[in-house]
Amino acid sequence: MAKVTIETKFGKIVFKLLPEIAPETVRNFAKLAGSGFYDGTLFHRVIPGFMIQGGDPNTKKPDKGRWGQGGPGYTVKAEFNSRSHLRGIVSMARATDPNSAGSQFFIVTTDSTFLDRQYTVFGEVIEGMSVADAIVNQPRDRNDCPLQDVQMSKVTMSE
């Protein structure tokens, strides 16, 4: 079982990848994580009672006006599946086009089944939901951006 570890100032979030339901999405995420793409990016969107979102390379720069718009320079085809968006699920963020995901992802902190079959579930947290809870409850601005940076200092893969 391939696992991802996200290191933050609040502790570690560990999630298992689900290649059996989203093989291309898992392959893409593993490639990005393995290359260091996510290191130093921020959780730039936090909505209590919903989720935390990160994975935008634009968050490595201070121009908040561009946060939430960045990616790896390509998109990944949606792999909608029957896995429900329950607490601890890791899913790809996207724009209006279902096939517009690239690198941004979110971790569901409260069951959000209204997202089912509209976003690609590709992982499930197995350790560190208390860390995700600490992040989702950070003070935020009117754009749901934490007032203090919540950086993914390192994102690593392991078996």
pLDDT digits (tens, 9 = 90+) for 11-24: 999 999 999 999 99
Which three-class secondary structure state does DSSP give residue 66? helix
* Full domain range(s) for residue 74: 3-158
The answer on pLDDT for 36 being more than 90 is: yes
- State residue 28 phi and psi, 5-degree precision: -65, -50
* Number of domains forming the structure of the chain: 1
CA max distance for the chain:
39
CA 143 to chain centre: 17
CATH of the domain at 79: 2.40.100.10
Q: 10 Å Cβ neighbour count for 149?
A: 13
Q: What's residue 122's pLDDT?
A: 98
pTM of structure: 0.97
pLDDT digits (tens, 9 = 90+) for 121-158: 999 999 999 999 999 999 999 999 999 999 999 999 99
Is the CB of residue 84 less than 8 Å from the CB of residue 116? Answer: yes
pLDDT digits (tens, 9 = 90+) for 47-95: 999 999 999 999 999 989 899 999 999 999 999 999 999 999 999 999 9
Instruction: Please name the helix (run of DSSP H) or strand (run of DSSP E) that holds residue 15, with its range, or none.
Output: strand 11-17
Is the CB of residue 111 less than 8 Å from the CB of residue 86? Answer: yes
